[in-house]
């Protein structure tokens, strides 16, 4: 059976994908293809390159993408992704979709066309970084005369590249609906409102997954709280380990 895996965006919550991947490996689930957005794009790229979930966790936490960023001070954003791209280039030096061990698709948002764009061939890391470019925080990435931002703006759960091409679709969604506390500031209110809008575009796509993995405890973690990375990984791992997999996917 050919199994496709969809990895949503979610900031620091995306670390839960690594726990999900580790548990799926222990259940002997073989992934045939991956589609990822934002944090899911990073996890998908590293896993497709052959790194274990534990090693990816080690790399992400030690590299810490936020530390790899430098001020851009442009009119279109505050930070750019160049340092982050260079950091991941150390681990994926071939920088190519074609050299990955598992087929991968990454989505980003074409700002001026107002549509999702999918990458599955050619240069790898710039599309991955583009998929992570939160508007207003990161400078957009210009590629092939296109201005690219976070894929989650229009499609935070990119199941379309895998649907009808694989026998069984697993979705790892790290953004369970609900808040554990009310926003305490205007900035927090704006962030959570944007988060809610992004989540809303995932609803119909969640139903397209044959198996949805959405650990409810993730709502207790802020999407920006990388300090709780170990706990987030554990939540993804333990929830997935507790699942009984459908017989038709084994």
pLDDT in tens, the chain (250 residues): 999 999 999 989 999 999 999 999 999 999 999 999 999 999 999 999 999 999 999 999 886 555 665 555 566 656 778 888 999 999 999 999 999 999 999 999 999 999 999 999 999 999 999 999 988 788 899 999 999 999 999 999 999 999 999 999 999 999 887 655 566 666 566 666 777 777 778 888 999 999 999 999 999 998 878 889 999 999 999 999 999 988 777 6
For residues 124 and 96, give the distance between their C-alpha atoms in angstroms, rounded to a whole number: 5
3-state secondary structure of 77: coil
Q: DSSP string spanning 131-196?
A: HT--BTTBPPEEETTEEEE-GGGT-SS--TTTTTTSSEEEEE----S--SS---SHHHHHHHHHHH
- 79-80 and 168-172 as β-strands: parallel, antiparallel, unpaired? unpaired
Instruction: Give the Cα separation of 109 and 79 in Å (integer).
Output: 18
Structure tokens at 118: 């999918």
Within 10 A of 238 (CB to CB), how many other CB atoms are there? Answer: 13
Catalytic, out of 48, 116, 131, 150: 150
Angle separating helix axes 16-26 and 53-63, nearest 10 degrees: 160
> Residue ranges per domain, the chain?
3-242
Q: What is the DSSP letter of 25?
A: H
What residues does 5 pair with on adjacent strands?
34, 170
pTM flag (> 0.95): no
**pLDDT of res. 225:** 83
Determine phi and psi for 158, rounding to 5 degrees: -75, 75
Catalytic, 210? Answer no
Q: What H or E segment, with its residue span, contains residue 6? A: strand 3-7
What architecture does CATH give domain 3-242?
A: 3-Layer(aba) Sandwich (3.40)
Tell me the torsion sign for CA atoms 106, 47, 229, 7. positive
pLDDT score, position 138? 86
Q: What is the pLDDT of residue 136?
A: 78
Q: How buried is 213 (Cβ within 10 angstroms: 0-12 exposed, 13-18 middle, 19+ buried)? A: buried
Is 38 one of the annotated active-site residues of the chain? yes
Residue 223 is predicted with a pLDDT of 82
State the CB neighbour count (10 A cutoff) for residue 188.
13
Q: Give the span between the Cα atoms of 102 and 104, in whole angstroms.
A: 6
Catalytic residue among 8, 35, 38, 172: 38
pLDDT for 190: 63
Strand 3-7 vs strand 168-172: parallel, antiparallel, or unpaired?
parallel
What pLDDT is attached to residue 172?
98
- The whole-number pLDDT of residue 122 equals 98
Judge whether 42 and 9 are in contact, CB under 8 Å: no
pLDDT value of position 110: 97
């Amino acid at each position: 059976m050919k199994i496709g895996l969809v990895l949503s965006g979610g900031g620091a919550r995306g670390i839960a994908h690594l726990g999900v991947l580790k548990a799926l490996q222990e259940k002997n689930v073989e992934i045939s293809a991956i589609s990822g957005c934002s944090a899911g794009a990073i996890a998908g790229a590293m896993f497709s390159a052959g790194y274990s979930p534990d090693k990816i966790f080690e790399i992400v936490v030690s590299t810490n993408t936020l530390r790899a960023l430098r001020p851009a001070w442009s009119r279109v954003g505050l930070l750019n992704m160049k340092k982050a791209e260079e950091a991941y280039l150390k681990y994926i030096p071939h920088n190519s979709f074609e050299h990955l061990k598992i087929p991968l698709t990454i989505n980003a948002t074409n700002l001026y066309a107002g549509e999702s764009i999918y990458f599955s061939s050619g240069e790898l890391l710039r599309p991955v970084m583009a998929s992570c470019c939160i508007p207003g925080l990161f400078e957009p990435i210009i590629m092939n005369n296109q201005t690219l931002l976070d894929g989650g703006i229009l499609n935070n759960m990119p199941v379309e590249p895998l649907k009808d091409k694989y026998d069984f679709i697993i979705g790892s969604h790290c953004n369970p609906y609900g808040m554990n506390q009310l926003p305490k500031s205007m900035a927090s209110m704006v962030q959570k409102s944007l988060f809610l809008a992004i989540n809303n575009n995932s609803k119909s796509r969640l139903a397209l997954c044959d198996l949805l993995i959405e650990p409810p405890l993730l709502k207790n973690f802020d999407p920006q709280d990388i300090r709780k990375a170990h706990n987030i990984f554990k939540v993804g791992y333990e929830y997935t380990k507790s699942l009984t997999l459908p017989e038709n996917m084994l």
